[in-house]
Amino acid sequence: MGEPWYSPQLPTPIDAPYPIIFNDEVARLLGIDAAAARAQGYAETLSGNRLPDGCHPVAHRYAGHQFGIWAGQLGDGRAITLGDIQTANGARYDIQLKGAGQTPYSRFADGRAVLRSTIREYLGSEALAGLGIATTRALAIVGSNLPIYRETVETAAIMTRVAPSLVRFGSFEMLFYNRRFDQLAPLADHVIDGHHPDIAAIGSGPARYRAWAERVGDLTAALIADWQAVGFCHGVMNTDNMSVLGLTLDYGPYGFMDAFEPDWICNHSDSAGRYVYDQQPAVGLWNMGRFVQAILPLLDDDPDGAVKIGQDLIEHYRHSYDRAWMRRMRAKLGLVDERDDDRALIEALLRIMAASHADFTRSFRMLGHVSAARDASGAPFVDEFADRQAAGRWLADWRARLGHDEARDDPRGERMRCTNPKYVLRNYLAQNAIDRAQDGDYSEIERLYTLLQRPFDEQPEQADYARLPPDWARGLVLSCSA
């Protein structure tokens, strides 16, 4: 791949880079010897100061809709892709340095990232990976004492991001709006041939691209259903932040909910609330509309026929998301079979949680510890609710619903505890790690990473990390500043 998809760009050297954290699991994924990387000193390479032999770094070019408004050309303003690695099993991963200096797409920015935002992306991507949710990964963080000017003066950091592909919805929008229709198929073929061998086998022509667009819709629907099921808010679901592989991409002002608030805004830059928790599925639908519009020339030679196919693809996404969400929510409640009244039961629980500001993660987790027996105690589940009576009434309905399934407590509870995490990356936990790191202590980053690799396990020695957030952390929101 080459123009118009990216521009050659060398990283800008940074003064005295030093190692902060290295991810052994991601190193194994890439076939890298982590011990050797540490022994040889990875800071010079993963800061961009010393490039591997044969490396030809580039900055990706794309466009996008930001907060629903067409923003035109965007691109990697502070991320530089060194190239890709092919593993022993044939998988390929792009290796990208975030915060490695200015690119042709930096506009007026400095091309750097700060330690604060870099830690948040490192922990956020690895937390979702631990939950089994599709995401980019993080190999390492390298720091520098170079001062970076944001709301305050901070220090620089560079994170090594790893992904099978970094192609976005906005990559296709760029071609469509620039009327580079002849380049849509080569970019689509690059994705299909590299990641969807079953679709590649279809051959050429509109049927190939229709099948691929449907796959993009399914992957996107599954991703957003996964987010909703764990109370995760992305915060900036612009089309340039939407991966065509259904990966969680670009960790800006994200957050895991504490108290359940359907209209929670995790990004204080989102003054209109476009990307609140309960709007994420609808935004996914809207973004799919922009993606389908961009690839219309691939769907049919007849423009009217392409529009009709596009409409069918949008409707397919709608149904795909609904099925994915219902599967996940049934699993969270321990339900095995499907019944028509399950949606009402699920939505009733969410209403009661919202009215009581019950903690999202703890409420579902505690439900897995409750017996299905009608005369058994409702604790610890009802203890999470201010309105214990409402929670008790819902619990009775849930127990009655379980009567239609095989409802033995032990296997059901185990299934639920494998679906409802005990630990998530709450904002205050990430902030604690950042505060320590800014004082030169990186141990909390490692501790959280280790904890969040096994979020469904009890880990009793780490139980404090599952407590309700302290008063100072309630309502903590973040901005897009990086």
The token duo for 156 is 């620089």
The token duo for 3 is 């123009």
The three-state DSSP-derived secondary structure of the chain is CCCCCEEECCCCCCCCCEEEEECHHHHHHHCCCHHHHHHHCCHHHHCCCCCCCCCCCEEECCEEEECCEEEEECCCCCEEEEEEEECCCCCEEEEEEECCCCCCCCCCCCCCEEHHHHHHHHHHHHHHHHCCCCECEEEEEEEEEEEEECCCEEEEEEEEEEECCCCEHHHHHHHHHCCCHHHHHHHHHHHHHHHCHHHHCCCCCHHHHHHHHHHHHHHHHHHHHHHHHHCEECCCCCHHHEECCCCECCCCCCEECCECCCCCCCECCCCCCCCCHHHHHHHHHHHHHHHHHHCHHHHCCCHHHHHHHHHHHHHHHHHHHHHHHHHHHHHHCCCCCCCCCHHHHHHHHHHHHHHHCCEHHHHHHHHCCCCCCCCCCCCCCHHHCCCHHHHHHHHHHHHHHHCCCCCCHHHHHHHHHCCCCCCCCEHHHHHHHHHHHHCCCCHHHHHHHHHHCCCCCCCHHHHHHHCCCCHHHCCCCECCCC
Any catalytic annotation for residue 341? Answer: no
The token duo for 136 is 């980019």
Q: Which of 299, 267, 298, 306 is nearest to 283 (CA)?
A: 267
Residue from 76, 226, 240, 258 carrying the catalytic annotation = 240
The token duo for 437 is 């790191």
Amino acid identity for residue 452 in this structure = L
The angle that helices 184-195 and 169-177 make with each other, rounded to 10 degrees, is 160
The token duo for 473 is 């952390």
Instruction: Provide the β-strand partners of residue 478.
Output: 267
The token duo for 121 is 């992306």
Catalytically active residues are 240
